[in-house]
Structure 1
Amino acid sequence: MPMGGKTDVTKEDGGMVRDTSERRLRISTMVRERGSVQVAPLAQRFGVSMQTIRKDLRYLETRGVMERSYGGAISADAVNVTAEPAVEVKRSSHADEKMRIGKLAAAMVRPGESIVLDSGTTALQIAHFLPDDEDITVLTNDLDILSVLATKERLNIVMLGGMLRRKNRAFYGAQTVAALENLRVDKLFLGVDGFDIECGITTHYEPEALLNRKMVEAAREVIAVTDVSKFGRVCLHRIVKIDDIHHLIADKNVPAEIHAASQRLGFKVHEA
């Protein structure tokens, strides 16, 4: 059966005859390639009303192609990514890109600043490249990041305690959140499991989302760090909206829609 159902050609928008199945097929392709689509741009692109596009999205949702979101839809392949890779897998994935991101991020830290390094393998690379400066203070909840920072003789280090989660070798819980309660830092380098323009920055693990939100509250500047494989992915627990960040550091080939969102929402993109 065609993507549009039994009737390929229908009358829409003032009686104009259009090929519904072809449009829906093209929308399906777009959402799979981009990760998400928005109603208004689709209506403009295909020359139909937003009501017609919403009907298309509802139809495609019933076929399991996508999930509806505010103002558009998200690829079904990207929604509810529940399987969190082991930390060993994360370390080997996009290793060169993470190294370049880490080097660029570390170069943004200035003497006299206090920073938070979120848990994760990208933030681990930042730790490697941080200058060993006694005027820099680093807070982290990540055991592997602590091990790297401890090799630097002059850097000031604050470990956020709590309950160790062995799956990613980081500390979480009420004690970890409480440690940030009365602190104010200059920069937060925030790791990413999912980065979607509509759904925001997301993670697999709810206590991590709670802790990350507290980190965002404590920071004057929020810098998201991620390789481009995380764009369009949506995990179960949202940390913040995209417009809550100030900078995004990623590897090359950041999609055009991310650049457009940066101009619209007011964050700056840095490609490593």
Structure 2
Amino acid sequence: MYPEERRQAVATLISQRGRMSVADLSVTFGVTTETVRRDLALLERLGHIRRVHGGAVPANLLTVTEPGWAERDHTRAEHKDRIAKRAASYLPPAGGSVLFDSGTTTGRIIPELPCDLDLTVITNSVPIAACLTAINSVTLHMLGGRVRRVTQATVGEEALRVLNVLRVDVAFIGTNALSVEHGLSTPDTDEAAVKRAMVRCANFVVVVADSSKVGREHLLSFAPIHSVDILVTDEEINSTDRTSLHDQGVEVVIA
């Protein structure tokens, strides 16, 4: 195989798989890791891929932008509904405390709450808080702070001050992207700080994310992958990602 053919094949494979490591590419194409790194450097300059720690991802998977709440709410809606229904099985028992991160998938868990289950609920999501006001058995606490219009979530020092003294039974966390190497990630600094504090204050962390987010990386990591107890996702997650997550101690639950 000529170098140009190999590089084209490398770019195609990364596009198909979503992520490939330098080591795997070296074995697949029978070349040294140094040759792979040179190929990846060239492909990145051409805009075909983006290099990440230990490998590469398609160029369109590494991003610093995020769609608005309404757009995200209609994206992969059926997958999110199934994920939310399955995630509700991890609610704490009566008298427990639960934290809902902002997000269109975490928000779908709210209709699954038993109407007679006494819970203390904390959230930074304006839409989630609005839905919870209709459930009489819930004691609701809304985190203060500045509201980001793109996510309709409160962020900033007010929210962080409360989260830094909390300990909750279960936290349901949303994420823009998830990978073994970069952990859970998001594009915004303030959003990352709040999500980081949420993960830190929970005894049990349930991440709800459809499979399109697995293997992706955004600008800011807010939690390492080993901080996740359970990932609830859909059946389209590939076997390589599922095995890698399992090896890091994450239980992957298919909805």
Aligned residues: 254
Which residue in 1 is equivalent to 2:85?
103
Does the CA contact (< 8 Å) of 2:174 and 2:208 recur in 1?
yes
Matches for 1:112-123 after TM superposition, within 5 Å: 112-123=95-106
Which residue in 2 is equivalent to 1:63?
46
Does the CA contact (< 8 Å) of 1:118 and 1:212 recur in 2?
yes
Distance 1:199 1:127 in 2: 29
Which residue in 1 is equivalent to 2:131?
148
Does the CA contact (< 8 Å) of 1:113 and 1:136 recur in 2?
yes
2:179 to 169, 193, 196: 196
Following superposition, the deviation at residue 172 of structure 1 comes to: 0.9
Which residue in 2 is equivalent to 1:86?
68
TM-score where L is the length of structure 2:
0.93
Does the CA contact (< 8 Å) of 2:125 and 2:154 recur in 1?
yes
Does the CA contact (< 8 Å) of 1:223 and 1:249 recur in 2?
yes
Distance 1:152 1:135 in 2: 10
User: Partner amino acid for 1:156?
Assistant: T
User: Partner amino acid for 2:52?
Assistant: S
Q: Which runs of 5+ in 2 are unaligned?
A: none
- Superposed CA offset, 1:180-218 (max 9, x none): 111111211111112233322211221110000011110
User: Partner amino acid for 1:59?
Assistant: L
Following superposition, the deviation at residue 133 of structure 1 comes to: 4.0
- Superposed CA offset, 1:200-244 (max 9, x none): 221122111000001111011221111122233322222122232
Does the CA contact (< 8 Å) of 1:81 and 1:234 recur in 2?
no
- Superposed CA offset, 1:247-270 (max 9, x none): 111122111122111222110111
Larger Rg: 1
Does the CA contact (< 8 Å) of 2:92 and 2:170 recur in 1?
no
Runs of at least 4 residues off by over 6 Å: none
Matches for 1:42-57 after TM superposition, within 5 Å: 42-57=25-40
TM-score where L is the length of structure 1:
0.87
1:241 to 212, 216, 224: 224
User: Partner amino acid for 1:31?
Assistant: I
Distance 2:190 2:171 in 1: 18
Distance 1:55 1:169 in 2: 43
- Taking a change above 3 Å as real, the CA distance of residues 208 and 27 of structure 1, as seen in their structure-2 partners, is same
User: Partner amino acid for 1:192?
Assistant: T
Does the CA contact (< 8 Å) of 2:124 and 2:153 recur in 1?
yes
- Superposed CA offset, 1:156-192 (max 9, x none): 2221111222332221110001011111112111111
Q: Which runs of 5+ in 1 are unaligned?
A: 1-17
Following superposition, the deviation at residue 134 of structure 1 comes to: 4.7
Matched, 1:40 2:29: no
Distance 1:215 1:110 in 2: 16
SS of 2:166's partner is coil
Distance 2:250 2:238 in 1: 15
Matches for 1:112-191 after TM superposition, within 5 Å: 112-191=95-174
